[in-house]
Amino acid sequence: MKIKVGINGYGTIGKRIADAVIKQPDMELVGVSKLNADYEAVTAVKKGIKLFVDENSIEKFKNAGIDFSGTKLEMIKEAQVIIDATPDGVGAKNKALYISENKPAIFQGGEEPDVADVSFSALCNYDEANGKKYVRVVSCNTTGMLRIVCALKKNFKIKKVRVVLIRRAADPREVKKGPINSIVLNPVQLPSHHADDAKTVLRDLDIFTMAYVVPTTLMHVHAMSVQVEGNPSKEEVIKTLESSRRILGISRGSGIGSTAEIIETARDIGRVRYDLPEVAFFEDSVHSSNGEIFLTYAVHQESIVVPENVDAVRAMFKLKEKEESISLTDSTLGLLRGRLI
């Protein structure tokens, strides 16, 4: 049986999830729904993706000469699950429609946690989404933090986690966002919301976060410190992270020490849109002494949540067990294991 998936919102995240769903042997993409008759709508049609349009935008699409297959409501009726990838806060407004059509839905991290029955991060709490009707995939930053924490949790008993998040200001396609010449405290008053967001998945985690926005579009960078019981060696920490799914080491000999070079590597290895859904940590940044681990890793915000959305569908419909789903998602999306380079 193939689960029919409809995607509402075809921007940075929606377009990537659409491509990923097409690659899944147990899913069928009904189509994507768009509000704006823009270049991304034209590209979707050129790629053979069925385009459904918001009921209030029909004239706009007709005037722009963009072919479409039906309305958003028609897509929702045909799909068995909706992945909502609309901008922050819009997903919560759309929920009434999903409820009235009795449709399960997956929301993104820009929504408040109470939009869903459970917040989701595949490595951490896959099983909690089993049979749930509304699931929220946590944000790009939270997904990155949780991947590292849950990988470490497999081998070490974690006492507390402290993270400084250096956030990209905008995605590459966003022409009107900033800052272009400042470092912005995000927020000024601590902690940042990321700690609470992580706790929607790991409720007992002792975590404190501080975030700053910087003028770059490529990736986020997190500087993390983790206190654990015992005193693991640097090598043990690296081995633990590199044996985890969706986390890649950047080797000491590679000479890479920046997000620009990570993205260039993603380009060089032929990643579509230079996407890197895996978290990339710098092996040389790992320091471990007296039960305290320090490390720096980078998060490709545009693609990190894509595999999580695919797994969320399988968890909701109980299509596969956790490891089987993660493994299938990773192989169909061509994710790597161990080291990026």
CB of 304 to ligand NAD, least distance (A): 7
Q: Does residue 338 bind ligand NAD (CB under 6 A)?
A: no
Which residues face 102 on adjacent strands? none
Rounded to an integer, what distance in angstroms lies between the CA atom of residue 172 and that of residue 162? 29
Q: What is the DSSP letter of 271?
A: -
CB of 210 to ligand NAD, least distance (A): 19
First to last CA, the chain: 38
Q: Does residue 35 bind ligand NAD (CB under 6 A)?
A: yes
Rounded to an integer, what distance in angstroms lies between the CA atom of residue 286 and that of residue 231? 14
Contact of 105 with 163, CB cutoff 8 Å = no
* Interface of this chain with ligand NAD, residues 89 to 148, rule: CB under 6 A: 90, 108-111, 139-140
154-183 footprint of ligand NAD as x/- string (CB under 6 A): -----------------x------------
91-101 as b/e: b if 16+ CB within 10 A? bbebbebbeee
Q: Out of 53, 140, 286, 319, pick the active-site residue.
A: 140
**Region binding ligand NAD by CB under 6 A among candidate stretches 44-52, 126-134, 271-279, 299-307:** 299-307
Contact of 32 with 18, CB cutoff 8 Å = yes
CB of 120 to ligand NAD, least distance (A): 12
205-234 footprint of ligand NAD as x/- string (CB under 6 A): ------------------------------
Positive or negative: CA dihedral 170, 176, 182, 184: negative
From residue 290, how far is each of 223, 227, 229, 250, 308 by CA, in Å? 18, 9, 9, 24, 34
Nearer to ligand NAD, 187 or 338 (CB): 187
CB of 32 to ligand NAD, least distance (A): 9
Token digits of residue 46? 């050129």
Considering only residues 7, 8, 83, 218, which one is a binding residue for ligand NAD as defined by CB under 6 A? Answer: 8
**Region binding ligand NAD by CB under 6 A among candidate stretches 80-88, 121-129, 190-198, 250-258:** 80-88
Contact of 214 with 167, CB cutoff 8 Å = yes
Considering only residues 24, 125, 259, 301, which one is a binding residue for ligand NAD as defined by CB under 6 A? Answer: 301
Nearer to ligand NAD, 194 or 232 (CB): 194
Nearer to ligand NAD, 54 or 321 (CB): 54
| Element of type H or E holding 341 | none
**Nearest residue to 318 (alpha-carbon basis) of 117, 130, 121, 80:** 130
Question: Catalytic: 140?
Answer: yes
CB of 303 to ligand NAD, least distance (A): 8
CB of 293 to ligand NAD, least distance (A): 26
In degrees and rounded to multiples of 5, residue 72 shows phi and psi of -55, -45
Kindly compute the dihedral angle of the four CA atoms of residues 228, 230, 236, 241, in this order, to the nearest 10 degrees: -20
Nearer to ligand NAD, 90 or 164 (CB): 90
Contact footprint for ligand NAD (CB under 6 A) = 8-14, 34-36, 54, 85-88, 90, 108-111, 139-140, 171, 301-302, 305
Cite the active site residues. 140
